[in-house]
């Protein structure tokens, strides 16, 4: 007779057709601890059932015949597509989504129920096993599903909001030991909602009213660190003055609202820079026992909450002469590389670390640390060079 043993591993399956749109998957157990599952390379199961399997290492063992509660959160992008793809400036945007209402899992399921929460009653929903309660469509309860149960339902509903996406975000963090960290972000913003049919007409579209271009992107809200100073918002043309910033001690941040030069209709794009400075004493730390050992702590997420970045590149430029550089991120990175940057008075260049993360969502809004050794006396090099220039004039 087989002895039943305790388990501390759980496997999650995601249909292959949806896995390419999966930005984040998180598992929370009854102790409220977040666990990040790891994608595994089991090719036979994945090929047979057209699924991607993720492995979860639970924090404790689950004894046989015992129940365990897990909350699995999956964040997808690009699952909703505008239908109709093109609308006039006066129409409302409608989107459709396909999904599997059964619980797709490598294990059999005794009972499952899926609820789709929409803002309002949908235009269309697949009727089979469905109960509609206003904006909430319930599918199920399904009993005794086998492993990898597949089915497809379609929802078509109204969603008049813009769909902002950052195609690329690049952040450059420059550390100066004279007491300042300079940060400049470059954003490639796109509105991936329903496009405009015909031509853009300034008579019909008035960005100050609610009646036209409801799915156009008119402004964005950002939260900068509380001690930011010298904030600017510009693009290749020049400074953009339509922005407001307010240092809010209640939310411990600088709340910034930016309005691009033009409202972005569906399919339109806009690039811009946002830069700010931080006094070094809030994010740069030095070890008491070894004053040449420095720790730089920075945010690893975007200043815009609720918007996904398809690719986020963080470049940390350390002062010339920094050595033994280590880094620590709270989540895995897609790519890490090292290069040299050249700025004022540089001979060998400043060590630069480039970190790349794909599909960045609000979960990535944490902090990362870069640790390096630097001899404080080297900072005298910059004033000495100015001195040398002046001395040459006199001699």
Q: Which residues bind other proteins (CB under 8 A)?
A: 174, 176-180, 182, 230, 277, 279-282, 284-289, 293-295, 297, 324-328, 333, 335-336, 338, 343-345, 369, 371, 376, 379, 382-384, 386-391, 393-395
Nearer to other proteins, 113 or 239 (CB): 239
d(CA 142, CA 109): 9
Which residue, 126 or 180, is less far from other proteins as judged by CB?
A: 180
Nearer to other proteins, 17 or 339 (CB): 339
Nearest approach, Cβ of residue 256 and other proteins (Å): 18
The DSSP code sequence of 201-245 is: -TTT--TTSSSS-TT-B--EEEEEETT-EEEEEE-SS-B---EEE
Closer to other proteins at the Cβ: 182 or 245? 182
Sole residue written with tokens 């089915």 = 151
Q: Which residues pair with 7 in a beta bridge?
A: 62
262's CB contacts (< 8 A; 6+ apart) are: 268, 270
**Of 91 and 382, which has the nearer Cβ to other proteins?**
382
What is the nearest approach in angstroms of other proteins to the Cβ of residue 362? Answer: 21
For residue 211, the minimal CB distance to other proteins (Å) is 44
How many angstroms separate the CA atoms of 301 and 84, rounded?
Answer: 33
Distance (Å, rounded) from C-alpha 22 to C-alpha 308? 12
Q: Which is nearer to other proteins, 63 or 335 (CB)?
A: 335
Distance CA 298, CA 366 (A): 8
Q: Kindly state the smallest distance separating residue 265's Cβ from other proteins, in Å.
A: 37
Taking only Cα atoms into account, the Rg of the chain, rounded to an integer number of angstroms, comes to 26
Query: In this complex, which beta carbon is closest to other proteins, that of residue 203 or of residue 389?
Result: 389
Residue 164 or 321 having the CB closest to other proteins: 321
- Give the shortest CB-243-to-other proteins separation in angstroms: 19
> How long is the chain?
395
CB nearer to other proteins: pick between 344 and 347: 344
For residue 79, which of 100, 59, 109 has the smallest C-alpha distance? 100
CA 131 remoteness from chain centre = 34
Given the complex with other proteins, which of 72 and 333 has the nearer CB atom?
Answer: 333
Q: How far apart are CA 193 and CA 162, in angstroms?
A: 6
For the bound state, the minimum distance from the C-beta of residue 394 to other proteins, rounded and expressed in Å, comes to: 4
Instruction: Tell me the CA distances in angstroms from 362 to 23, 159, 216, 267, 308, one per residue in order.
Output: 11, 21, 23, 23, 8
In whole angstroms, the minimum distance from the beta carbon of 185 to other proteins comes to 17
Q: From the CB of 372, what's the least distance to other proteins, in Å?
A: 10
Identify the CA nearest to 374 among candidates 323, 335, 339: 323
Nearer to other proteins, 17 or 324 (CB): 324
Least separation in angstroms between residue 274's CB and other proteins is 16
Tokens of 342: 């050249």
Q: Shortest distance, CB of residue 104 to other proteins, whole angstroms?
A: 30
Which residues partner with 153 through β-bridges? 99
Distance in Å, CB of 57 to other proteins, minimum = 17
Alpha carbons within 13 A on the beta-carbon side of 120: 7
Q: Which residues, including other chains, have CB under 8 Å from residue 137's CB and lie 6 or more apart?
A: 115, 116, 118, 122, 125, 130, 131, 155
Pairing of strands 51-62, 7-15: antiparallel
Q: Report the candidate in 96, 155, 84 with the shortest Cα–Cα distance to residue 126.
A: 155
């Amino acid at each position: 007779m087989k002895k039943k043993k305790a388990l501390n591993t759980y496997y999650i399956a995601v249909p292959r057709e949806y896995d390419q749109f999966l930005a984040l998957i998180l598992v929370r157990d009854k102790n409220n601890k977040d666990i990040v599952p790891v994608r595994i390379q089991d090719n036979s199961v994945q090929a047979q059932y057209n699924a991607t399997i993720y492995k979860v290492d639970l924090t404790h063992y689950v004894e046989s015949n015992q129940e365990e509660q897990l909350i699995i959160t999956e964040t997808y992008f690009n699952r909703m597509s505008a239908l109709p793809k093109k609308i006039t400036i006066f129409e409302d945007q409608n989107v459709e989504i396909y999904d599997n209402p059964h619980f797709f899992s490598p294990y059999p399921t005794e009972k499952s129920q899926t609820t789709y929460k929409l803002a309002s009653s949908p235009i269309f929903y697949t009727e089979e096993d469905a109960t509609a309660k206003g904006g909430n469509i319930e599918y199920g309860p399904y009993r005794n599903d086998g492993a990898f149960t597949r089915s497809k339902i379609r929802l078509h509903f109204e969603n008049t909001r813009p769909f902002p996406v950052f195609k690329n975000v690049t952040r450059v963090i420059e550390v100066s030991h004279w007491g300042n960290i300079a940060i400049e972000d470059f954003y490639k913003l796109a509105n991936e909602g329903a496009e405009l049919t015909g031509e853009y007409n300034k008579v019909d579209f008035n960005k100050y009213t609610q009646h036209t271009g409801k799915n156009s992107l008119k402004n964005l809200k950002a939260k900068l660190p509380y001690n930011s100073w010298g904030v600017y918002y510009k693009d290749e043309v020049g400074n953009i003055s339509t922005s407001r910033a307010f240092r809010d001690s209640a939310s411990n941040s600088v709340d910034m609202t930016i309005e691009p030069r033009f409202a972005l209709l569906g399919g339109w794009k806009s690039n811009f820079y946002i830069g700010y400075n931080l006094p070094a004493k809030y994010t740069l730390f030095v070890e008491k026992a070894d004053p040449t050992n420095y720790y730089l702590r920075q945010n690893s997420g975007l200043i815009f909450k609720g918007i996904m970045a398809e690719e986020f590149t963080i470049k940390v430029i350390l002062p010339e002469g920094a050595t033994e550089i280590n880094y620590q991120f709270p989540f895995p990175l897609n790519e890490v590389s090292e290069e040299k940057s050249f700025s004022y008075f540089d001979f060998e260049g400043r060590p630069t670390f480039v970190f790349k993360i794909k599909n960045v969502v609000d979960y990535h809004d944490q902090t990362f640390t870069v640790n390096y050794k630097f001899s404080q006396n080297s900072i005298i090099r910059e004033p000495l060079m100015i001195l040398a220039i002046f001395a040459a004039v006199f001699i």
